[in-house]
Amino acid sequence: MIEGTLAIVLNTLTIIIITFVIANVAVSIVASLMTQSFLTIQVQSRKVALWLLITMPWLTSIGVALFFLNGYLSSKAFEAETEFAHWHHMAVFSWSTWHGATLIIALVFSCFILGKKFVQLKQHHHNLKSLTHFAKPLTDNVFEIDMPKASAFTAGFIHKKCYVTSGMLKEMTEAEVEVVLAHEKAHAKNNDPLKKWLFSLFAAFFIPSLATRLKLHMTLAMEQAADNAVVNDKLTPTFVAITLVRVARLNALYSPIKSNELVASFGADVLDQRIYFLLGQLTLKPVNKWMTLILVIFILAASMSSIDGLHHFVEIVFSH
């Protein structure tokens, strides 16, 4: 049996975990209902909305836990906890109860996710270091890889580098290569490799099918932003779209290097949406701020109102 300050900390962590699960379910419902609506939102607004959704369970769980903790600490003599923010025996914790089991399961799961992601990161860093050693520099932070497959991608979190294969340089015209490299430099400028990995890290705590959809929407938004950054007086939207189709054909012919969560590539990801976007065939609107506020309030309210009831329900079955 643990008592005192450490028990309060452990109980607060338990509140965070339970609230996270409730908020995760609420966000999953909202994201599932909005999956098609994302395609009609302007690129920058869509990125913000996706980041808000993916981080909402974390923000909500911390906020609710602080509310409960404040309710406990502000009560007289630490005895009469507030009616709404109520948690039985806040200053007492036992690892043999469901509170302890919840905390252990969450810690094991979190360590598994974080361990998997950082092993992936370490392996990527090693591969990137080897790749850079054998690659031939073309211009500032642009490198050529001697490979017949047609591919181009950007990697690196702090020192971003753009890579293009010799196969792509051989098969494409100078103007097409200019489009590809400008696209990759836009990824580097926007820090997309780092943002893509961080987004995938947050998404790993959702059910796999929903995580895949959310990551696909973020990939699309990043690619559309990079495509749009290429367009200028010389490189028209139509020419950029034609280059996309050209790369897609080369990818189909040569079986491209598969992109992953740590790189941003010029590949044929969500090709149709990117082409429609470039050709102005998509009517995109800014995110509805009032609707976003309502959804945030809904998630917060659902989490806040459910935590105490769920706590009592579980304790009908398990001792505490």
HEC-encoded secondary structure of 251-265: HHHHCCCCCCCCEEE
pLDDT over threshold 90, residue 40: no
Query: To the nearest whole number, what is the mean pLDDT of the chain?
Result: 83
Cα–Cα distance measured from residue 38 to residue 47, given in angstroms and rounded to the nearest whole number: 10
Q: For residue 282, is it left (φ>0), alpha (ψ between -120 and 50) or beta?
A: beta
Q: Which two tokens stand for residue 160?
A: 């971003």
Burial of 54 (0-12, 13-18, 19+ CB in 10 A): buried
Confidence at residue 80, expressed as pLDDT on a 0 to 100 scale = 44
Give the DSSP per-residue string, 159-194: S-EEEEEHHHHHHS-HHHHHHHHHHHHHHHHTTHHH
- Give 3-state DSSP helix, strand, coil % of the chain, rounded to 5: 70, 10, 25
Distance in angstroms (rounded) separating the CA atoms of residues 174 and 104 = 57
When pLDDT is cut at 50, 70 and 90, the band that residue 86 belongs to is: low
Task: Give the tens place of pLDDT for each residue, 271-301.
Answer: 888 888 888 887 888 888 888 888 888 888 8
Amino acid identity at 258: K
Q: Which two tokens stand for residue 220?
A: 């699309």
Residue pLDDT, tens place only, 128-162: 888 878 888 888 889 999 888 888 889 888 888 89
Q: What mean pLDDT do residues 76-91 have? A: 53
